Structure 1
Amino acid sequence: MLSRRGQKFNAFLGIPFAKPPIGDLRFKNPVQITESWNGTWDATKYPPKCIQPLQGKIEGSENCLYLNLYSPKFADNRTSLPVWVFIYGGKKLFGDAAPYKYGPEYIMDKPVILVTMSYRMGAFGFLSTEDYVISGNFGLKDETAALKWIQTHIHSFGGDPHNVTISGGSSGGIDVNLHLYSPLSKGLFHKAISQSGHSLNSEVVHPSGTARALAWDLARIVGCNTSEIRTSEELLGCLLEIPSITLARASLKLMHDYILPFMIFGPVIESKYNEGAFLINDPCKDIEISSGIPWILGSIPDEGSQRTLTLFSKPKIIKHFERNAEKLFAEYFRFTYHPKAIEVSKKVIAKYMPHKYLNDSFHEISRIYAFSNFHLGTIETARRYKGPLYLYCYDHTNDYQYLKTYLQLLSSSTKFKIGAVHGEELISLFNNPLMYPPVLTGNDRIVSDQIIDLWYNFVACGDPNGNAPKIWNPVIPSKLNYLHIHNLTLTMKENYFIGEEYEFWKEIKTPTLCSRISMVHS
């Protein structure tokens, strides 16, 4: 294959990194492959994506624990190149590592080994009975299994197992943050990049009891006799007999049964006594993250437009909101932990929409979601982290945005003006011919080159500046200095999203920034 600048590189597709999680291995931790194979492995075909709902249909397979590996043509077991691992996002429900979505052509301009992997999602990856029977966090453990495979085998492809960087966008960025906490991932990577994802978010870790209740709901929907099931073992026994497509359809139904159809299956806190436990401490209760690993962390100004679009594309939900705005605002924006949740909702509505109907408040709702679920948590994460942290704000609006097209379809009479939105930076990093032109031009190309340079320098040596003059300094918590990536300008600024709006949200969220809530049926 050829990179954007004409560099030759190899693509090894569909390499298995764990045994297929099928049969008795469903709802179990990934199992390492210890057997070798004879002959030649065909690494020229796309592996199956993990089973998932997509546009109302079910696609993929349970047999999906494969990775893709890209290496420069010159790389072999005598080279020692930095390793860049990317974890895709998708609300723990959908997504895959296919090169037609996360094309390697831009990154492979650099002398680096790029790895993308699939991991179990939805119920298959995150169902939990909150005990040792179905411990949960299987998708995160799949990612860890891929990192273990890299430690064992990457040298054969020309990579350095002692120089591995994990990166991810959106929920993939959250996963990166959780790997920094996890005892299971310790020593498997050396640097981290989280794009629009942090763990100080009420969506991230399920409150105690919620995941177990969801497991029983799922079992009931697929036909298990839950009135007679008394133990987790009995529940597992029934679920193992259910066809995968039936489970996936039931997961889709659960999404529609709840008012909050976002990350309905997600991470849980496990007992430290669980074998292979991934997450044993609540990120929201840890005052500091002290891994010491260099970390790039950042977000985008208009993070809320994508989710607000989901809300505005469902007129029934809009009407539901307007009938009971204060209560549903509390649910939708995760205020329900607050002892005065309705009062909090009233304050938010008064601040952002004092004279507007919900249907005319697209930008205001986008701002509410962006600040309460992205910017505030990013600020607090930056202040807590005890290690080299590089903070950024990606504020470049690409000429082509798939979100703009959907926004225009919402209403011919409403014009939504949006800037840089959730996922925008991925356009700079990966070729995605399904969503935008395969060749970036003009300012988009220049910004892409800048981002690739900064990210690669960090992957290679832990400093995004590399050997060039220093333009990006690590965070000083009292200053919250960050790199502002605005069109063609890279500028160091201070007080990351700090201002009157921050003070408003800090007052509302304090003292528990991301206290848990339970799911609410519609």
Structure 2
Amino acid sequence: MLLKISIILLLISSVYTDVIVQTSSGILQGFRIHSGFTTSYFAFKGIPYAEPPKGNLRFRAPVPHKGWEGIRNAAEFGSKCPSNGLMGLLSGGDEDCLFLNVYTNNVNASSPVMVWLYGGAFVLGDGGSFLYGPDDLIKEDIVIVTLNYRLAAFGFLSTGDKNAQGNYGLKDALLALKWVKKNIRNFGGDDTKITLAGESAGGVMTHHLMLSPQSEGLFHQSIMMSGNVFLPFSFQSNPMKKTEALAKSLGLKYNSTEDLMEKLRAVNFKDILKHTREIEDQDYPLGNRPYDFVITIEPEDSVDERLIIDNPEAVMLRGNFRSVPMMIGTTNKEGLISLPKTFIDHTVLQDFNTHPDYFVPLSYNLNSSNVAQIVEVANAMRDKYFQGQKLTNNMKDQFAVYNTDSMFKFTTDRALKIFSQNPNTTIYNYEFSYDGAYNMVKLFLFVKGYEGACHGDDLFYLFQPGFPVLAWPWNHASEVKKRMIRMWANFIKFGNPTPNLDDIVDIKWPKYTSSDEFYMDIGHDLIVKVHHDHLKIWHEFQKKFTGHL
């Protein structure tokens, strides 16, 4: 009888009991969200942190929101930013999209804070609860902030001069961080304990903000999941070429970059979306070359303060960045995300046979005149991953392993080696290898039949999605999820993922150093391992052709 009453009450009012919070922008009315029968938290959704970036504000740095009069209802998420989605799914959005969301257990507390930047290759995603529900993570007594930032052309188009300096999406995240720093105490958060975290593109953005003096004091540690500034698709060295291609597709005629930007600001945003290439149409080899509209160096004649003033690789190699505690890692089979394209286009693998330069990372700085070196790299990679054979359609699993290393593991390993040159940097490295009920990306991409954890699979062991997951509480995947949440929350709270051992996490996670390259393998069990020579050939070529890591 009591169970029936509880269920009825939960169905009648899963959201009730408001709470009022004062912010620098105005007064907010949040709501209590019930998660299960015994737990709840307060949610403040759709908080505008910037003016709508439309009209004359399109393709410009964000402007702080002017605020509101009276009490603003914070019960609903704001619009997501315009996106083509993925293969036509989850597309749409609106330019009035710069909102953030705050989840807290107690507005009168002083709890550590996590600010989350979503992934999506800079072209899709949002901070809503469809993928990033806080229900499980917030039980660890932290304050969680998610946010929207501008995507694709709206977030990263550049003319290479003062008329469109680029990186608007990254600057959105910076402005949101400033709002959080200024206001999070009113939500029960500790503004001296803010962890900036992100996955994939969100991890890239987190890393960039670590390198920027403009973010000084806005966060004190970071989490980079499957993302860092070395990811090959994440940095555009020739942004004007992509802007010109968009203008041509739209049929725009112009006589200067100033004229071009005036015309682009007058185009309906849906038309810009329509003429922007989706992920699967980007340059090949897909994911190993820059996407059209991503982070770029801002021109010296920029009107606004420059956020990115140099190539991030150069900044890293100079060691010119803040040393903040960090967690950084990958899944063990990131490259499974590259397989769906091969199911549709059977020429993808064969193209590597006729284009040996596809095997060459951009970081090697080889060009078309370096024929001998390109062939040397291609042959070495073909030997390592494909038994020296030409690529065929029955080599999809080997192709996934190759892409795991080329896009994610090699780049992450480079970041680790450079970060660890500073002995005062605290680093916790991991590999997520579990393959179970919550590996939802594999399910969505129809690669469930392949072993390993795909790019993005680990997210569902951290967040609670807004759709049902077919896993009973006694399923072993639930145990893995508890472990991951506990370690991530411990790092956010204490700067150490395993400060104390308990029934959930019963093994110490040692730090990664230049002499002891420890990492935590998050699989069926938690196992501490040491990096060996799996990526040796990648680093040897990097050193041979460039003279540095």
Which of the five TM-score ranges fits, normalised by the shorter chain? 0.7 to 0.9
CA distance in 1, matches of 2:216, 2:234: 20
Asked whether the 8 Å contact 1:82–1:113 carries over to 2, the reply is: yes
Taking a change above 3 Å as real, the CA distance of residues 406 and 168 of structure 1, as seen in their structure-2 partners, is closer
User: Which residue of 1 is the match for residue 274 of structure 2?
Assistant: 249
- TM-score (normalised: structure 1): 0.88
Q: Which of 259, 265, 273 is the equivalent residue of 2:293?
A: 265
Q: Which of 485, 489, 494 is the equivalent residue of 2:522?
A: 485
Please state if 1:504 is matched with 2:537: yes
Please state if 1:218 is matched with 2:246: yes
Taking a change above 3 Å as real, the CA distance of residues 323 and 367 of structure 1, as seen in their structure-2 partners, is closer
> 1:264 corresponds to which letter in structure 2?
D
Displacement of 1:211: 0.5
CA distance in 2, matches of 1:380, 1:257: 25
CA distance in 2, matches of 1:245, 1:290: 39
User: Which residue of 2 is the match for residue 277 of structure 1?
Assistant: 306
User: Which residue of 1 is the match for residue 337 of structure 2?
Assistant: 306
Taking a change above 3 Å as real, the CA distance of residues 512 and 336 of structure 1, as seen in their structure-2 partners, is closer
Alignment of 1:4-19 (within 5 A): 6-19=38-51
User: Which residue of 2 is the match for residue 520 of structure 1?
Assistant: none
Q: Which of 173, 187, 212 is the equivalent residue of 2:217?
A: 187
User: Which residue of 1 is the match for residue 512 of structure 2?
Assistant: 475
> 2:488 corresponds to which letter in structure 1?
W
Taking a change above 3 Å as real, the CA distance of residues 393 and 102 of structure 1, as seen in their structure-2 partners, is same
Please state if 1:399 is matched with 2:437: yes
User: Which residue of 1 is the match for residue 202 of structure 2?
Assistant: 172
Please identify, of 240-249 and 374-383, the stretch whose mean Cα deviation from structure 2 is larger: 374-383
Displacement of 1:313: 2.5
User: Which residue of 1 is the match for residue 400 of structure 2?
Assistant: 366
* Partner SS state of residue 93, structure 1: coil
> 2:480 corresponds to which letter in structure 1?
V
Displacement of 1:438: 7.5
> 2:457 corresponds to which letter in structure 1?
E
Displacement of 1:513: 7.7
Asked whether the 8 Å contact 1:7–1:108 carries over to 2, the reply is: no
Displacement of 1:217: 1.1
Please state if 1:205 is matched with 2:238: no
Larger RCO, structure (CA 8 Å, separation 6 or more): 1
Asked whether the 8 Å contact 2:202–2:227 carries over to 1, the reply is: yes
Asked whether the 8 Å contact 1:260–1:332 carries over to 2, the reply is: no
User: Which residue of 2 is the match for residue 519 of structure 1?
Assistant: none
> 1:215 corresponds to which letter in structure 2?
T
Asked whether the 8 Å contact 1:180–1:291 carries over to 2, the reply is: yes
Displacement of 1:273: 6.2
Please state if 1:108 is matched with 2:133: no
User: Which residue of 2 is the match for residue 120 of structure 1?
Assistant: 150
User: Which residue of 1 is the match for residue 78 of structure 2?
Assistant: 47
CA distance in 1, matches of 2:165, 2:141: 39
Q: For residues 424-461 of structure 1, what are the alpha-carbon distances to aligned partners after superposition, in whole Å with 9 as ceiling and x for unaligned? A: 21111011143734765421111111111111111112
CA distance in 1, matches of 2:310, 2:189: 32
Displacement of 1:260: 5.0
Please identify, of 344-353 and 190-199, the stretch whose mean Cα deviation from structure 2 is larger: 344-353
* Partner SS state of residue 96, structure 2: coil
Please identify, of 326-335 and 447-456, the stretch whose mean Cα deviation from structure 2 is larger: 326-335
User: Which residue of 2 is the match for residue 89 of structure 1?
Assistant: 119
Aligned length: 496
Q: For residues 438-495 of structure 1, what are the alpha-carbon distances to aligned partners after superposition, in whole Å with 9 as ceiling and x for unaligned? A: 76542111111111111111111212223448701221212211112221x2222222
CA distance in 1, matches of 2:470, 2:363: 35
* Partner SS state of residue 284, structure 1: helix
Displacement of 1:24: 0.3
Displacement of 1:393: 1.2
Displacement of 1:250: 1.0
Taking a change above 3 Å as real, the CA distance of residues 195 and 331 of structure 1, as seen in their structure-2 partners, is closer
Q: Which of 369, 375, 379 is the equivalent residue of 2:409?
A: 375
Displacement of 1:341: 2.1
> 2:298 corresponds to which letter in structure 1?
E
Asked whether the 8 Å contact 2:83–2:273 carries over to 1, the reply is: yes
CA distance in 2, matches of 1:389, 1:405: 32
> 1:281 corresponds to which letter in structure 2?
D
Asked whether the 8 Å contact 1:432–1:438 carries over to 2, the reply is: no
Question: What runs of 5+ residues in structure 1 fail to find an aligned partner?
Answer: 410-414, 516-522
Q: Which of 164, 185, 203 is the equivalent residue of 1:134?
A: 164
Taking a change above 3 Å as real, the CA distance of residues 291 and 129 of structure 1, as seen in their structure-2 partners, is same
Please identify, of 19-28 and 276-285, the stretch whose mean Cα deviation from structure 2 is larger: 276-285
> 1:402 corresponds to which letter in structure 2?
M
CA distance in 2, matches of 1:493, 1:5: 39
> 2:412 corresponds to which letter in structure 1?
T
CA distance in 1, matches of 2:325, 2:405: 25
Q: For residues 81-106 of structure 1, what are the alpha-carbon distances to aligned partners after superposition, in whole Å with 9 as ceiling and x for unaligned? A: 11111111000011111112211111
- TM-score (normalised: structure 2): 0.84
Displacement of 1:196: 0.8
Asked whether the 8 Å contact 1:3–1:104 carries over to 2, the reply is: no
* Root-mean-square deviation (Å): 2.7
CA distance in 1, matches of 2:543, 2:37: 49
Asked whether the 8 Å contact 1:87–1:117 carries over to 2, the reply is: yes
Q: For residues 121-173 of structure 1, what are the alpha-carbon distances to aligned partners after superposition, in whole Å with 9 as ceiling and x for unaligned? A: 00000001122221101111000111011011111111111111111111111
Asked whether the 8 Å contact 2:62–2:171 carries over to 1, the reply is: yes
Taking a change above 3 Å as real, the CA distance of residues 177 and 331 of structure 1, as seen in their structure-2 partners, is closer
Q: Which of 530, 534, 538 is the equivalent residue of 1:494?
A: 530
User: Which residue of 1 is the match for residue 101 of structure 2?
Assistant: 68
User: Which residue of 2 is the match for residue 232 of structure 1?
Assistant: 257
Displacement of 1:29: 0.2
